[in-house]
Homo-oligomer: A and B are copies of this chain.
Amino acid sequence: MVVVTAKMFFNQGKLKEAENILKELIEKTNQEDGCIEYKSYLSNSSSDEIVIIEKWESQAHLDAHMKTKHFTELLPKIGEMCSKKTEISVYSPLI
């Protein structure tokens, strides 16, 4: 399994505008092969910050995800609404 946390930092007020795009990304991603979990959460300390917590069966499934049409088309649109680069951390199960 591969676990990813993707922290996104939106320009003030832009998260509301991005929600439809996020919904589309999350719905399509959850239908992908090897996607165990792909959900977004709003930070309790900033209304402009979210994290997407992802769980994939393998690195190959994650790599395939990053080549999908919805990923390659929607991520740049989301990025345009963000104040800084998405912070991506990749993990493997420990305990």
Contacts and interface: CB of A to CB of B under 8 A. Distances in A.
A43 B3 CA distance: 9
A89 interface: yes
B19 A95 contact: yes
Given A43-B89, A89-B43, A50 B5 contact: no
- If over half of A's interface residues share one DSSP class (helix, strand or loop), that class is named, otherwise mixed; here it is strand
A39 to B, nearest CB: 7
24 contacts: A3-B41, A3-B51, A5-B51, A7-B89, A19-B95, A22-B94, A22-B95, A23-B95, A39-B95, A40-B94, A40-B95, A41-B92, A41-B94, A42-B91, A42-B92, A42-B93, A43-B90, A43-B91, A44-B90, A44-B91, A44-B92, A45-B89, A45-B90, A50-B91
